[in-house]
Structure 1
Amino acid sequence: MRQTADRLFTPLGGTSIRDIGLGKNGAHAPRALIVYVAHVIPYYVAGKLEKAPMLNEHSMYWETAEMVRQLNERGLVVDFYDVHCTEPIAWESYVVAFVQNDRLAECPPKLPIKKVFYCTENYWAFQNLAELQRLEAFHARTGIWVRPERQTRVSFSDEHADFLTSFGTAFQQRLYSERPQKHLLNISVAQQPTHVTKDVSRARRNFLWLGSGGAILKGVDLAVEAFRQMPEATLYIAGAIEREPRLWQWLKPLLAQHPNIVYLGWVDVTSAEFVKLANSCIGQIYPSASEGGPGAVAQLLHFGLLPIVTQSAAVRGAALGWEITSPDPAVIIAGIQRHTREVMALTDTELRERSAACQEFATAYHTRPAYATSFADLLDRLAL
């Protein structure tokens, strides 16, 4: 393992990391291929996973290391290709492949390899169109065109897979091929906080939007449009919107005009400051146009934040709160306002009960152990 680690620390993206677990399992062990995001794998192989600077920025980073760990524990040697790596793949070397991009289409169909499309998104055509439609709607309201940030790769891996994994709901799966068997994975979270009883009398008017890049796809503008008309409620925005300068030029002046909209910028969800903030809120707003099961929503369920989400966000815990089925931005804005007021109208007892239900759901389905169990179940189905 040390020999492998010594040659791993190359620039992120576009690399492959071979022979993980070779020292433990031997040269004659069966091999597994993973094609996914390789950012933290060098740290994992070096025994320094917790030092990976991006480990807590997204649930996928820890999950990639857990995939490798479980495969090694089952006696397989792993070759890990970054999702942007263009190196040729010797498909005949593997007994199983977990592929997040389009490269399953390269696999010769007659090879006896078990093929898993590791699906983390909505169908590519749906997502790309959904983002462009949101950008067009934003321009119609504001006169500002914003650069698309979440256009995803074209992929037909689902048509070649034996299994298709997902993190979201049936909405996420509906456009994918019916060919592969489906397997639901549980999203992990970076922070599994100690669950506390929320002071709902203070939290009942506070709501949170938490998101990453592609903020218009994820509906931050719709949340802002809703709350600028509801001065009785407060919206906290946690995400680096200033990284998207054309969106920021619209949002920044609105913050001065509407003191009930509070911009936090990028946040570390494991920090004491964020824990305090999340525990002071009662609801989360996530009107995304396309997701494969959002980790941000999963994280906030641990803090007992009732979800107000769109159907296209594919949130498994949507029934804990409110789901807006229409893709029309005007309907979504009105829905956010209506459901926010419904939350604020609930009694303290009702809010405590619903908040506790969110925490219970998160404990059952959105932890690192929950992901590990669901991935182990997949390996069992693959007879590995």
Structure 2
Amino acid sequence: MPTIQGARYRLSELLRKAADVTFRPPGGEIHGIGQERLGPKAKRAFIKYSIYSIPYYIKGDPMQCPQINEHTMYWESAEMVRQLNERGYVVDYHHVHSRAPINWELYDLIIDEGGSLINMPENLRAGRTKIFYSSGNYWLFQNTAELKRIGDFHRRHGIFVSPERQAPPNYANEVADYMTYLGTDFQLRLFDRPALKHQLNISAVYEPDYQRRNMAEARTKFVWLGSGGLLLKGLDLVVEAFAQMPELTLYIGGHAERETRFWSWLQPMLAKHPNLKYMGWVDVGSRKFADLAQQCLGTVYLSASEGGGGAVVQLAHFGLIPITTETSTVREGLATVIRSQEPSEIIAQTIKTVRELVALPEADLHARSEAAHAFAREHHTRAAYARSFAALLDRIEQKR
């Protein structure tokens, strides 16, 4: 494992003052990860992605990063560095929001999620392997999808909600040799350049063992779990669907109060419909949440744009049966998929699909719950991500 002395830091002032990263720096760079062990003549790789866990990897244990279980990208970013070090690469790492200049000619391998690849001088592109690490849909699709959801919400409810998840333009796919993706072929159709595509297995933070449910109790209960950008993620559509199914219960986990204009609509809906249960932020690794998940049947997630449906993946580990939109880009084979992108049709199809699920015989519900858990264990663990990233590096080495 590289040492903290062996890597050269250029981080924010806060990071330079602290021995541990207990905050989220706005930018930063770490250079020479693995240099001490691999020496000055080693191959060199560059990564631009999330930096928060990397100081902890350098110090010996990325699991000590305070954010490590908040999002899958924190562990995955450290795993990328670990595998590159093991394959003989010294790694220079820039945070996704860093504006520091990049010395392109140093690198044999470049992994960029931050949209910097397009800025590489054309005379330096040949002979260097360039990977666009795509963690979502094409930026223009996502931005348009969110704005459309905002307009549709206003037409239904007379409230304009601010956009929360507008993505900056990213043209890395236009110059990359490889492009990764975490979800489905739907994502790939949005990109118009012929980079070689490689599917990574999005990981999950918690991997609980499967527990058989009491279906008589669970079959009428569902969970919605999500983070910022509630209109983009379709919470309004899920709420409107379950408001028309008072015989079913929906538990909502997230920080809805933070989005005040959306909350001004959601709060009266919660008061009007007692089958809508708002929990606020939840710790999916807690015993309390595990107990709740054990009492529920499924999850309904109607996002307009995702990079692989991380919340759905996590809930599948609890055996919750997913119903999603195609634009949620949950990996094929895990969920029942609603193909429409029109909110009124999505709501109607959700009601139909949920009621059909609830009406299934108990044996079928057990089978589908077990299948969701098994799928998550096969495709959505940290070990599965590690294998898929190693397979990408194998492809690159075999082509050279």
- Structure 2 length-normalised TM: 0.93
Deviations 1:32-61 (A, max 9, x none): 000011122122222242222211111111
1:136 aligned onto 2:151 = yes
**1:87 corresponds to:** 100
Residues 288 and 95 (structure 1 numbering): CA distance in 2 closer, same or farther, change over 3 Å? same
Q: Distance in 1 between matches of 2:256 and 2:6?
A: 38
Bigger CA drift: 164-173 or 18-27? 18-27
Classify the secondary structure of the residue corresponding to 1:383.
Answer: helix
Residue 5 of structure 1 contacts residue 42 of structure 1 at CA under 8 Å; is this kept in 2?
no
Long gaps (5+) in structure 1:
none
1:24 aligned onto 2:24 = no
Residue 7 of structure 2 contacts residue 35 of structure 2 at CA under 8 Å; is this kept in 1?
no
1:327 aligned onto 2:341 = yes
Aligned-pair distance for 1:98? 0.4
Bigger CA drift: 124-133 or 308-317? 308-317
Q: Distance in 2 between matches of 1:170 and 1:50?
A: 32
Q: Distance in 1 between matches of 2:327 and 2:335?
A: 15
**1:78 corresponds to:** 91
Q: 2:388 aligns with which of 365, 374, 378?
A: 374
Q: Distance in 2 between matches of 1:372 and 1:122?
A: 22
**1:265 corresponds to:** 280
**1:34 corresponds to:** 47
Bigger CA drift: 327-336 or 271-280? 271-280
1:12 aligned onto 2:25 = yes
Q: 2:140 aligns with which of 125, 139, 152?
A: 125
Aligned-pair distance for 1:108? 2.4
Residues 5 and 245 (structure 1 numbering): CA distance in 2 closer, same or farther, change over 3 Å? farther
Bigger CA drift: 82-91 or 245-254? 245-254
Deviations 1:174-226 (A, max 9, x none): 02133200000001000000111122221101111111110110000000001
1:43 aligned onto 2:61 = no
Aligned-pair distance for 1:4? 5.0
1:166 aligned onto 2:181 = yes
Where do 1:305-324 residues align within 5 Å? Answer: 305-317=320-332, 319-324=333-338
Deviations 1:81-116 (A, max 9, x none): 011101110000000000002210112234321000
Classify the secondary structure of the residue corresponding to 1:188.
Answer: coil
Aligned-pair distance for 1:322? 1.9
Residue 320 of structure 1 contacts residue 354 of structure 1 at CA under 8 Å; is this kept in 2?
no
**1:348 corresponds to:** 362
Q: 1:199 aligns with which of 208, 214, 230?
A: 214
1:241 aligned onto 2:256 = yes
1:337 aligned onto 2:351 = yes
Q: 2:203 aligns with which of 165, 179, 188?
A: 188
- Structure 1 length-normalised TM: 0.97
Residue 195 of structure 1 contacts residue 302 of structure 1 at CA under 8 Å; is this kept in 2?
yes
Q: Distance in 1 between matches of 2:342 and 2:196?
A: 32
Residues 246 and 194 (structure 1 numbering): CA distance in 2 closer, same or farther, change over 3 Å? same
Deviations 1:150-184 (A, max 9, x none): 00010111010000000010101102133200000
Classify the secondary structure of the residue corresponding to 2:322.
Answer: strand
**2:5 corresponds to:** 3
Classify the secondary structure of the residue corresponding to 2:116.
Answer: helix
Q: 2:266 aligns with which of 245, 251, 267?
A: 251
Cα RMSD, aligned residues only: 1.4
Residue 299 of structure 2 contacts residue 315 of structure 2 at CA under 8 Å; is this kept in 1?
yes
Residue 115 of structure 1 contacts residue 162 of structure 1 at CA under 8 Å; is this kept in 2?
yes
**2:300 corresponds to:** 285
Q: 2:67 aligns with which of 29, 32, 54?
A: 54
Q: 2:128 aligns with which of 102, 107, 113?
A: 113
Q: Distance in 2 between matches of 1:227 and 1:5?
A: 52
**2:21 corresponds to:** none
Long gaps (5+) in structure 2:
17-23
**1:232 corresponds to:** 247
Deviations 1:296-333 (A, max 9, x none): 1111111111111101111114x444211111100011
Percentage identity across paired residues of the two chains: 50
Bigger CA drift: 258-267 or 180-189? 258-267
Classify the secondary structure of the residue corresponding to 1:259.
Answer: coil
Residue 13 of structure 1 contacts residue 38 of structure 1 at CA under 8 Å; is this kept in 2?
no
Residues 320 and 3 (structure 1 numbering): CA distance in 2 closer, same or farther, change over 3 Å? closer
